[in-house]
Amino acid sequence: MNDNFYNLLQSKFPRDGSQPCLETQHVTHSYADLEEEAGRCANALRQAGLVKGDRVAVQVHKSPQNLFLYLGCLQAGLIYLPLNTGYTRTELEYFMADAEPGMVICDPGKLQQVSGIASRQKHIPQVRTLDAHGAGSFTDAARSTHSKGETVTCTKDDIAVILYTSGTTGKPKGAMITHGNLQSNGLVLHRAWGWQKDDIMLHALPLYHVHGLFLGCHLPLLNASKIIFLDKFDTDLVIRELPRSTVYMGVPTHYTRLLGNTDFRAHICSNMRLFTSGSAPLLEKTFTEFQERSGHTILERYGMTETGMNTSNPLSGMRKAGTVGPVLDGVEVRIVNDKADPVADGATGQLQVRGENVFKGYWRMPEKTAEEFTADGFFKTGDLATMDNDQYISIVGRSKDLIITGGLNVYPKEIETIIDCMEGVTESAVIGLAHADFGEAVAAIVVRDDSPDPITETDIISSLKRNLANFKVPKKVVFMASLPRNTMGKVQKNFLRDQFNFE
């Protein structure tokens, strides 16, 4: 039996290969095109001397050829290593040294930089190029091969993808995602989100992340659906294409930008079946405003690089604002305290998960892998969570973001939720800053809206004192034009902690 994930995807492709698969603003690729191009990529990689288990590091802009390359790596049994296009030379040097790829494929504009790294790191034998339009030396090599690709036999435990974590603390870690992980999570989500024969996916996410690559591509391919493939998120383009689409997956920033456009109205969404949100917490007021404006209720879910998706609000049933829903089929979760004992219902604790979706471990970091798993196989997510009486889970923060002030625990999400609902506030981030008396003191970083009478620090603190115990009330409020975010929309609180102090 061949558990290569490409084998599963290919088994779901339509019998009529002429059916559209990827539609860009300039060209449409059929499912037959997809198979042929993936086969050419697989053959080009094999002809370059790469063998099963070799790594292929890819730092390129989004394009159909980028997706063909990924599928070709799967088919050839190679380990795909996508890298954020914003990574610097220093970061690339670390990733190359750690992963030791057999080939690096980069944008032509970075060829000199990447070639320089490769020449210093003798284990990188080959560098190829691929630009935003799908042209480059790798494409040239692929075109010279035949289109029939052989799918290498893989087990469920074989590594399909390595995704490096953001590395906000310590060195970035390469999460080893297996063919079995991809298969399990893909099939579970396909069922959970009720994919239908005529679904059309509107794709505006990058391809170097779980959200855009695994969810945004795997699910429509498992459904033999057409993907409207946008180069990037563009509010006007998304609004233009929504009437032809049925499924959209976005990050919270996408939804706030749509709501900020006066052209976004309910009639634009009349053909839509499903909006999902992830990669960062969705504000309850965004959830509510989107519901009122579009007539659709966003389905929020929760996952991680290391686990894929763990929970999801239901397709049929109540989607609760501020929660990420119940656990998905095949996934186990538990919420525990510092002593690893289960917490009471509604109490905050550390979220742990177990299931076929959970990654194999960290690349070449056996000690770190062992540290992050419990003796009975649960992965320590590092997220703080609560579970209500209906088994809906809410993520209240990262354990590293927990504030301990005067010996008392403060969970930033509780405070942020109240601040975000205040008139005159767009959003907030609550952090702990070093303090001589308290160890840490609570601080709120706030983005104000454009009201003519802007909210003040006194307004915010006075309101919070009416709603929270005094130890939770920020000792300091700072106003910013916007919060620092990574490419997937997550607020980078480590940057805020580095930027501010109580002096």
Q: Are the beta carbons of 319 and 311 closer than 8 angstroms?
A: no
User: Given a cut of 70, is residue 167 above it in pLDDT?
Assistant: no
Pick the CATH number of 5-18+28-154 from 3.30.70.1230, 2.60.40.2890, 3.40.50.980, 3.50.50.60: 3.40.50.980
Tell me how far apart the alpha carbons of residues 167 and 90 are, in angstroms, rounded to a whole number: 13
Q: What is the pLDDT of residues 254-266, one digit of tens each?
A: 998 999 999 999 9
Conformation bin of residue 495: beta by default, left when phi > 0, alpha when psi is -120 to 50: alpha
For residue 276, name the pLDDT band (cuts at 50, 70, 90).
very high
CATH number of 186-398: 3.40.50.12780
pLDDT of residue 242: 98
Answer for the pair 447, 434: CB distance below 8 angstroms, yes or no. no
Residue 72 has pLDDT above 70, yes or no: yes
- What residues contact residue 147 under an 8 Å CB cut-off, 6+ apart? 35, 36, 37, 39, 40
According to the model, what pLDDT value does residue 275 have? 98
Of all residues in the chain, the percent with pLDDT exceeding 90 is 80
Q: What is the mean pLDDT of residues 437-463?
A: 92
The confidence score (pLDDT) of residue 333 equals 97
pLDDT tier for residue 141 given thresholds of 50, 70 and 90: very high
Share the mean pLDDT of the chain. Answer: 93
63-72, 90-99, 174-183, 228-237, range with the lowest pLDDT:
90-99
Distance CA 158, CA 305 (A): 17
Q: How confident is the model at residue 169 (pLDDT cuts 50, 70, 90)?
A: very low
| Phi-psi region at 454: left, alpha or beta (left = phi > 0; alpha = psi -120 to 50) | beta
Q: What are phi and psi of 301, to 5 degrees?
A: -135, 175
Helix (H, G, I), strand (E, B) or coil at 115: helix
pLDDT value for 417: 87
Residue 248 confidence class, pLDDT cut points 50, 70, 90: very high
pLDDT over 80 (residue 152):
yes
> Cβ distance 108 to 131 under 8 Å?
yes
Q: What is the DSSP string of 431-490?
A: EEEEETTTEEEEEEEEEE---SS---HHHHHHHHHTTS-GGGS-SEEEE-SS--B-TTS-
Lowest mean pLDDT among 79-93, 202-216, 356-370: 79-93
**pLDDT at residue 501 greater than cutoff 90:** no
Alpha-carbon distance of 241 to 221, in angstroms, equals 19
Summarised one tens digit per residue, pLDDT across range 288-322 is 999 999 999 999 999 999 999 999 999 999 999 99
pLDDT score, position 366 = 96
Q: How confident is the model at residue 166 (pLDDT cuts 50, 70, 90)?
A: low
pLDDT, mean of residues 21-45: 97
pLDDT greater than 80 at residue 503: no
Query: CB-hemisphere CA count at 13 Å for 188?
Result: 21
More confident residue, 494 or 161: 161
Structure tokens at 109: 């504009």
Q: What is the pTM of this model?
A: 0.86
Q: How confident is the model at residue 490 (pLDDT cuts 50, 70, 90)?
A: confident
For the residues 128-147, what does the mean pLDDT come to?
Answer: 96
Q: Read off φ and ψ for residue 338, nearest 5 degrees.
A: -65, -20
- Is the pLDDT at 138 greater than 60, yes or no? yes
| Rounded Cα–Cα distance for residues 326 and 319 (Å) | 10
Q: Which amino acid is at 213?
A: L
**Same fold: 5-18+28-154 with 186-398:** yes
CA distance 279 to 250: 9
* Rg of the Cα atoms in the chain: 23
- The domain ranges of the chain are 5-18+28-154, 186-398, 402-499
**Whether the predicted pLDDT of 74 surpasses 50:** yes
Within 8 A by CB and 6+ apart from 476, the residues are: 433, 441, 443, 444, 457, 500, 502
Q: Which two tokens stand for residue 100?
A: 């030791």
**pLDDT the model gives residue 348:** 92
Q: What confidence score (pLDDT) does residue 295 get? A: 97
Helices (H), 322-411: 366-372
Least reliable range by pLDDT among 68-72, 151-155, 166-170, 219-223: 166-170
On whether the CB atoms of residues 470 and 437 are closer than 8 A, the answer is no
Nearest to 202 by CA among 247, 266, 236: 247
Q: Is domain 402-499 in CATH 3.30.300.30, yes or no?
A: yes
